[in-house]
Amino acid sequence: MHNRRNILAGAGAAALLAGSLAEGRAQPKKIKTLKAVVHADLKIVDPVWTTAYITQRHANLVYDTLFALNAKFEPKPQMVESYTLSPDGLKYTFTLRPGLVFHDNQPVRPVDCIASIKRWSARDPMGQLLATFITEMAVVDDRTFSMTLKEPYGLVLDSLGKATSPPYIMPERLANTPPNEQVTDPTGSGPFMFKKDEWRPGNRAVYLRHPGYVPRSEPPDYLSGGKIAKLDRLEWIYIPDNNTVLSALQAGEIDYFEAPPLDFIGMLKGSPDISVLNIDSLGVQGLIRPNTLHPPFDKYEGRQALLHLIDQAEYMGAVVGDASLYMPFCGAYFLCNSDNETAVGSEPLRKPDYAKAKALLAQAGYVPGQKIVVLQPTDRPQYNAATTVLISGLRKAGVTVDVQSADWSTITSRRTRRDPPDKGGWNLFITTHGGPDTSMPVSNVWFNSKCERANPGWACDPELEKLISAWAREPDRAKRHAGIEEIQRRAYVSVPYVPFGQFFQPVAFRKNVTGVLAAGQPVYWNIDKS
């Protein structure tokens, strides 16, 4: 945890902030600029190539989506003006809103949408499932395209409008990039444009209001409705030292802090100049991700061993501290307080059993002295704290741990490597996810167990995927909930990841900042600054 006496270390903070904020201070007063400190360094701008939250939040600024969720988690038209579904349930026809243009002033065309959906569906688990139902996508006219299915599928709109990693619409020339290659040109059609010439990885990313963006007429509602850019300029600043950031927030040198340390929330709530807002009603799930490509976590027993290392109260105490910001226990893969909450199969998480963990690791072929590579982020306090608890638990189970520390952006790049752990690969890392996408098995990206097509860690369980496919086809809500229990029971056998608790991460901002939306994640449309 942080030392509160360090918060107002003004001189040191000013020195560290000088480089990051210098250009922002030089802006003319007539330019309305918001300076926001983000949770991680932006290094990748392609939201198909990575699921890292920082890239997804970047994508929300520069791209738009065909559909988006409202506060009831219902998909609503966004770029789409209207749509129809044929009586047999097999053909959707989508008509785009008039006046949509990319940042290069080229019109958004149906062919751009089709190419973007195809690229997205090659990697996203919900997109992968949708793709198995699609027989054809075709241009109808300058603003209209169709999607024909081989059989009715009830999650088409939910897929196109999912909260995280939806099909962001790119120009066809970019969307035709193979999904295993990064797109580096950030041209989109969203409310903000990326100022690539001012991008300095490790320091800052800059966005400007897109003057050609035509927002919807409805008021903003979660991720749907009118995305009105009221700011002229948005500066994302990356400063890994949280004490420095908190000092700058109190001094008014920055305006918005995406992820203030949770042990400071109580103090921030007492500040007359700072607002604290929980923007996510579902919260955040912490997870341990094993690499299934290499021993001992290539075996079910090795992954099951991890379940017996978990004391959620210990993890949440280290990660959050404030008991009002986390749940005492949650064994639901699809989030507690969601429609798909169930505790089925979660018994091993109730109480640590290090002897059982050691025995399961031995069954998986773990040899005493074998090094298990754990990636520990240096610039994400919550991840760092959780990783420290994980390392302690592994050692109690007799595991030799090779801790390899790096900043989070480096870890998000390294985790894509499939090499053996002793040759630059890895065995375990910690991350988080949350929101409505996590609450459904078809859109929970870390639950995806499609082997080679899964997220880094490459969870692989064809039986689990069959259960998910059957669940997605079931139109009856009550039967679907029964299906959730069957899916989760199987998940606690194959263990795509280990949930170690559920908590809430508020944002903090200066009180002269208004219009911050409870959208489940930080978004910057509708925000104004006086």
Using the 3D structure, point to which of 175, 199, 228 is the last residue of a domain.
Answer: 175
**CATH (domain of 12):** 3.40.190.10
Task: For residue 360, give the 3-state DSSP assignment.
Answer: helix
- Model confidence over 223-273: pLDDT tens digits? 999 999 999 999 999 998 989 999 999 999 999 999 998 888 988 999 999
Please provide the DSSP assignment of 52-86 as one string. -HHHHHHHHHH---SEEE-TTS-EEESSEEEEEE-
Q: Which domain holds residue 492?
A: 284-503
How crowded is residue 1: how many other Cβ atoms within 10 Å of its Cβ? 11
With a cut of 50, list the residues of the chain below it in pLDDT: 1-16
Q: Quick one: pLDDT at residue 25? A: 54
Task: Please give the C-alpha separations between residue 287 and each of 125, 164, 277, 387, in angstroms, as whole numbers.
Answer: 18, 17, 24, 10
- Are 513 and 526 in contact by the 8 Å Cβ rule? The answer is no
User: Token pair for residue 498?
Assistant: 């280990």
Question: Domain total for the chain?
Answer: 3
∠ at Cα 512 (26, 25), nearest 5°?
Answer: 5
Q: How far is CA 386 from the centre of its chain?
A: 18
pLDDT of the residue at 478: 75
> Can you give the pLDDT at residue 27?
53
Q: Is the same domain home to 316 and 446?
A: yes
Same-domain pairing of 429 and 517: no
Task: Please tell me the distance from the alpha carbon of residue 230 to that of residue 88, in angstroms, as a whole number.
Answer: 43
Where a domain ends, among 156, 175, 194? 175
Do 244 and 304 lie in a common domain?
no
Domain shared by 376 and 440, yes or no: yes
| pLDDT the model gives residue 11 | 40
- H or E stretch including 172? helix 172-175
What is the reported pLDDT for 3?
44
DSSP string spanning 82-110? EEEE-TTS-EEEEEEPTT-B-TTSPBP-H
Amino acid identity, position 321: G
Looking at the structure, tell me whether residues 235 and 333 fall in a common domain.
no
Q: What is the rounded distance in angstroms from the CA atom of residue 74 to the CA atom of residue 70?
A: 5
375 pairs with which residues across the strands? 404
Which of residues 152, 175, 198 is at a domain's end? 175
Please give the model's pTM, rounded to 2 decimal places.
0.77
Asked if 287 and 429 count as a contact pair (C-beta separation under 8 A), the reply is no
